[in-house]
């Protein structure tokens, strides 16, 4: 809902960060090439010789809080959806959970292209070449549009078949097919929003995305009430209404992003013309260089999660519904890890650009310590209050019963998650996109999926053992990324091949 490289001397201030839409909250955040963005931006400020090395914890907080706020808004939308849909019954919640797996997969690819766009545009902006920045912007539109268009066509043609691939029960498919088509049919609109937001981040503007996220949150909440439950004389469309509300709120987001891009102070970079699109082909190869490792990581993560959900389906609809509610509830405790991940990526990139590898390492460890502390506090809070919180989002006793142990085990996974979110961002900021990919592969396919299959099909154990596979996954990723960051090979990856 990954990568980085090299560049010029880094600036102070806000760095590029991650696209704010929440994907599966369990997935490590998809961070754009903050290293390139942070080191290319000085020319925007009119000081190409500026040097900035992270010195204090205040810098970490100043970079993390805008992302945290935007992520919180995105999570609020997700929770509002689940709270309202939860009143329709467990079949509706399960349908939303299955649909989300495909939405996460589509977002992953679009996020990766957005990361590459940030990287290429930021380098061009730093070199005072707005025409080249617009060409990179146009290339991201071409790639995102092609990917989203193909995905949307498949979704509209085969909704039942795609749900059957996840082994969704027939009664859930019957309830959720319309919602599935409307929600995933909005991916083409989402591609436009992600692309334009990436352009704003390359220009070091994060406030636009925050304001638009707030507007979309309000619109989605109102539309949900009107269309799901038929408030104020509107037709009661139930789950289809939730899908229609998603589609309409995406339309609003696109209109706001396009309006802001054409009228704001960055219009010289974000306003595309025919010539910019004609030169977009020149940027396709460097974009692939940055984006492909990130695409690989996101696909590895999301296919593993989709496989994991099929295992949950063997235990019943209540367990799938509990997973869908639980991950959204716990996403608030993961948001700080996302913010610190962005801060780590930016500060590590700035320090390496200033030829200060010691400062880069110090920034990574400091951000990881912040994330660890915050994730422990929030994990405890959610773990202790898990049952009262569960009752706020569903009245189904079976789902509440399944949700309790899941949230408790997920609370235990918070510390390693905070660590691997943050150190993964630090490594990406240094230009190392392969180490997070390896960590995701080991954690998910070496631990999560095998443990879940063995517990379910092999040993016929209870659902708690399948939940416990999450802890093994996140612990493994934290250990691998901690060891990799401490080893320090990432310091020699500066100067990657994106030019």
Average pLDDT over residues 405-429: 84
Average pLDDT over residues 47-53: 38
Q: What pLDDT does residue 442 have?
A: 93
Residues 350/354/358/363 CA torsion (nearest 10 deg): -20
Q: In sequence order, which residues have a C-beta less than 8 Å from that of residue 353 and are 6 or more positions away?
A: 6, 7, 8, 9, 10, 35, 38, 39
> Angle between the 397-412 and 386-393 helix axes, to the nearest 10 degrees?
130
Percent of the chain residues past pLDDT 70, beyond the cut: 77
pLDDT digits 0-9 by tens, 172-228: 888 888 899 998 989 999 999 988 988 887 676 767 877 888 888 889 889 988 999
Q: In sequence order, which residues have a C-beta less than 8 Å from that of residue 86 and are 6 or more positions away?
A: 92, 93, 325, 393, 394, 395, 396, 399
Local confidence band at 477 (pLDDT 50, 70, 90 cut-offs): very high
Phi, psi of 250 (to 5 degrees): -70, -35
Q: What pLDDT does residue 387 have?
A: 74
Local confidence band at 38 (pLDDT 50, 70, 90 cut-offs): very low
Average pLDDT over residues 156-180: 87
* Higher per-residue pLDDT: 252 or 99: 252
DSSP 74-101: HHHHHHHHHHHHHTT-HHHHHHHHHHHH
Listed range (36-40, 134-138, 489-493) with the worst mean pLDDT: 36-40
* Reduced 3-state DSSP string for 262-290: HHCCCHHHHCCCHHHHHCHHHHHHHHHHH
The answer for 462, left when phi > 0, alpha when psi is -120 to 50, beta otherwise, is: beta
Q: Note if the pTM is more than 0.75.
A: no
pLDDT digits 0-9 by tens, 55-85: 457 777 766 777 778 777 777 777 777 778 8
d(CA 200, CA 37): 11
Listed range (33-42, 254-263, 340-349) with the worst mean pLDDT: 33-42
Residues 471/381/397/171 CA torsion (nearest 10 deg): -50
Local confidence band at 331 (pLDDT 50, 70, 90 cut-offs): low
d(CA 349, CA 149): 34
- The per-residue pLDDT of the chain, averaged, comes to 76
pLDDT digits 0-9 by tens, 254-269: 999 989 988 877 777 8
Q: pLDDT at residue 43 above 70?
A: no
Q: What pLDDT does residue 9 have?
A: 33
The encoded tokens of residue 53 equal 């090395």
Listed range (191-195, 479-483, 489-493) with the worst mean pLDDT: 489-493
Average pLDDT over residues 329-340: 72
Q: pLDDT at residue 436 above 50?
A: yes
Coil, helix or strand at residue 186: coil
């Amino acid at each position: 809902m990954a990568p980085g490289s090299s560049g010029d001397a880094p600036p102070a201030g806000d760095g590029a960060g991650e696209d704010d839409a929440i994907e599966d909250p369990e997935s490590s955040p998809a961070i754009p090439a903050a290293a390139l963005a942070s080191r290319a931006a000085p020319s925007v400020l009119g000081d190409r010789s500026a040097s900035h090395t992270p010195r204090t914890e205040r810098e970490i907080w100043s970079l993390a809080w805008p992302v945290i706020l935007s992520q919180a808004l995105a999570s609020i939308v997700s929770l509002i959806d689940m709270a309202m849909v939860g009143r329709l019954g467990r079949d509706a919640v399960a349908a939303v959970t299955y649909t989300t797996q495909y939405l996460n997969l589509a977002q992953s690819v679009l996020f990766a292209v957005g990361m590459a766009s940030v990287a290429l545009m930021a380098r061009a902006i730093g070199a005072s070449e707005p025409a080249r920045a617009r060409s990179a912007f146009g290339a991201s539109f071409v790639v995102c549009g092609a990917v989203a268009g193909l995905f949307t066509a498949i979704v509209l043609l085969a909704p039942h078949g795609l749900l059957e691939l996840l082994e969704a029960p027939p009664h859930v498919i019957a309830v959720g097919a319309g919602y599935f088509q409307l929600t995933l049919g909005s991916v083409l609109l989402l591609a436009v929003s992600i692309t334009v937001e990436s352009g704003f981040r390359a220009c070091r503007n994060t406030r636009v995305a925050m304001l638009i996220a707030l507007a979309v949150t309000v619109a989605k909440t109102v539309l949900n009430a009107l269309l799901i439950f038929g408030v104020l004389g509107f037709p009661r469309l139930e789950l289809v209404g939730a899908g229609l509300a998603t589609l309409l709120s995406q339309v609003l987001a696109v209109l706001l992003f396009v309006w802001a891009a054409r009228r704001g102070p960055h219009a010289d970079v974000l306003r595309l013309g025919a010539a910019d699109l004609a030169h977009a082909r020149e940027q396709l190869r460097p974009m692939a260089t940055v984006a492909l490792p990130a695409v690989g990581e996101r696909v590895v993560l999301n296919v593993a999660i989709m496989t994991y959900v099929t295992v949950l389906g063997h235990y019943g609809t209540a367990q799938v519904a509990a997973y869908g509610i639980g991950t959204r509830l716990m996403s608030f405790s993961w948001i700080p890890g996302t913010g610190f991940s962005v801060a780590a990526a930016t500060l590590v990139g700035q320090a390496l650009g200033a030829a200060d590898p010691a400062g880069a390492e110090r920034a990574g460890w400091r951000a990881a310590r912040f994330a660890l502390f915050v994730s422990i506090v929030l994990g405890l809070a959610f773990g202790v209050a898990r049952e009262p919180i569960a009752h706020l989002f569903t009245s189904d006793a079976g789902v509440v019963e399944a949700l309790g142990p899941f949230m408790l085990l997920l609370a235990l996974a918070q510390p390693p998650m905070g660590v691997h979110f943050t150190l993964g961002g630090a490594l990406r900021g240094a230009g190392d996109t392969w180490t997070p990919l390896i960590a995701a592969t080991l954690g998910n396919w070496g631990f999560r999926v095998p443990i879940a299959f063995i517990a379910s099909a092999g040993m016929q154990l209870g659902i708690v053992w399948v939940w416990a596979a999450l802890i093994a996954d996140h612990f493994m990723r934290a250990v691998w990324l901690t060891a990799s960051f401490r080893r320090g090979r990432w310091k020699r990856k500066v100067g990657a091949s994106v030019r």
